[in-house]
Amino acid sequence: MQKPWHGLIHCPECNALHRDSRCEICGAELDLQPVHAMIDGEEMTLPSVMQGAIPWSTFVLLEQIRIESERPAEMRPHHTSLSQRFTVVLLFWTLFEVLIDALYRAAFADLPGQLGDELLQRFPNIGGRLNRLYQRTWQLSFADDLRLEGFEEEAALIGKIQSARNAFVHGNPEAIDDELVDLTLSNLESAQRGWIAIFNKRCTRRHNKIPIWMSAERRASRT
Ligand SMILES: [Zn+2]
């Protein structure tokens, strides 16, 4: 489930997310030579280490999705189609909201003053961020952008989950059935890869580079 994040780092030059020694967006080469350091008077050779890109909250949510997906099924009443693993879908949606927030923070990093924050405050809900705010910024919706990058099924899944989650919140929990849970799990990794592709398309080559692992609190203290 966390596979898309394994070995993923931010390019120090353009902020793209990649895992090779050469950045696929700007071509910068990373120096992965071992580091020599004196420790307690002895010269030690240490492997080059870089901060992984995965945000802590993403790690925690993916771990919980894994736990919930393995929950053993119990006998359930016949009158409901609500999946016993419905939390998988709710957790995925929370994960997605966290990632979309990080995407905008990085994309708006060069806007003057507090403009980026103000725009996000004007569009506090995920629906507005995926459509109106995205349209105004990049002239298409997030789903259409995903489709352009070849993530057709993932774009459809996100639309389905959004509708089901809204129905759930407004009194129809049965909108999250086993079929949707299975679909979410089977597309979990590719949906994250889709998000990474969009990040690299929309959030790189800024003067200010905001890593996605940086918490909102720390981002605020930078300004
Ligand atoms: Zn780069």
Note the pLDDT tens digit of each residue in 159-179: 999 999 999 999 999 999 999
pLDDT tens, residue by residue, 32-46:
777 787 888 888 877
Buried b (16+ CB within 10 A) or exposed e, 26-50: eeeebeeeeeeeeeeeeeeeeeeee
**pLDDT mean across residues, the chain:** 91
pTM of the model: 0.89
Euclidean distance between CA atoms 108 and 100, whole angstroms? 12
- Per-residue tokens: 95: 């994960």
pLDDT-derived band at 88 (thresholds 50, 70, 90) equals very high
Amino acid, single-letter form, for residue 182: D
63 C-alpha to ligand 1 centroid (Å): 29
122 C-alpha to ligand 1 centroid (Å): 31
Residue showing tokens 């259409």: 144
pLDDT-derived band at 22 (thresholds 50, 70, 90) equals very high
33's CB contacts (< 8 A; 6+ apart) are 48
30 C-alpha to ligand 1 centroid (Å): 9
> Residue 78 has what pLDDT?
66
> Residue 15 has what pLDDT?
95
Distance, first Cα to last Cα, the chain: 34
Euclidean distance between CA atoms 97 and 182, whole angstroms? 20
Identify the three-state secondary structure at position 28: coil
Residue 128: count other Cβ atoms within 10 Å of its Cβ: 14
> Residue 44 has what pLDDT?
81
Asked if residue 81 has pLDDT above 60, the reply is yes
Asked if residue 204 has pLDDT above 60, the reply is yes
The tally of CA atoms less than 13 A away on the side-chain side of residue 5 is: 19
Query: Residues whose CB is under 5 A from ligand 1 (ion)?
Result: 11, 13-14, 16, 23, 25-26, 28
74 C-alpha to ligand 1 centroid (Å): 49
Amino acid, single-letter form, for residue 183: L
> Residue 63 has what pLDDT?
96
27 C-alpha to ligand 1 centroid (Å): 6
20 C-alpha to ligand 1 centroid (Å): 11
Region 17-25: what's the mean pLDDT? 91
The tally of CA atoms less than 13 A away on the side-chain side of residue 60 is: 6
68 C-alpha to ligand 1 centroid (Å): 36
% residues pLDDT > 90 (the chain): 74
Euclidean distance between CA atoms 169 and 166, whole angstroms? 5
